Amino acid sequence: MERYHPLLELAPRDVVARAITHEGMDGPVHLDMRHVAAKGMDLKARFPGISAFLAKYRLELGRDLVPVGPAAHYMMGGVRTDTHGRTSMQGLYAAGEAACTGVHGANRLASNSLLEGLVFGALAAETMIAESREWGAGKEERGVDVVASSGPATGEAATEKWIKELRALMWKDAGLLRDANGLERAKRGLEALAATMPRGLYRRAVEARNLHTVAGLMVASALGRKESRGAHYRNDFPLRSEPARHSVMERGTLTLV
Q: Which CATH class is domain 8-68?
A: alpha beta
Determine phi and psi for 248, rounding to 5 degrees.
Answer: -125, 120
Question: What confidence score (pLDDT) does residue 252 get?
Answer: 84
Question: What confidence score (pLDDT) does residue 137 get?
Answer: 52
Question: What confidence score (pLDDT) does residue 152 get?
Answer: 87
CATH of domain 151-256: 1.20.58.100
Using CA atoms, how far apart are residues 63 and 188, in angstroms rounded to an integer? 46
What are the boundaries of each domain within the chain?
8-68, 79-135, 151-256
Using CA atoms, how far apart are residues 254 and 257, in angstroms rounded to an integer? 10
13 part of the active site = yes
Q: Which residues contact 204 (CB under 8 A, 6 or more apart)?
A: 156, 159, 160, 163, 198
HSE-up (13 A, CA, CB side) for residue 138: 9
3, 13, 46, 240: which one is catalytic?
A: 13
Using CA atoms, how far apart are residues 67 and 222, in angstroms rounded to an integer? 30
Within this chain, domains 8-68 and 151-256 share the same CATH topology: no
Question: Across the 257 residues of the chain, what is the mean pLDDT of every consecutive 10-residue run?
Answer: 92 88 87 92 94 96 92 75 92 89 76 84 94 66 66 92 97 92 98 95 95 95 92 92 89 88
Using CA atoms, how far apart are residues 199 and 146, in angstroms rounded to an integer? 9
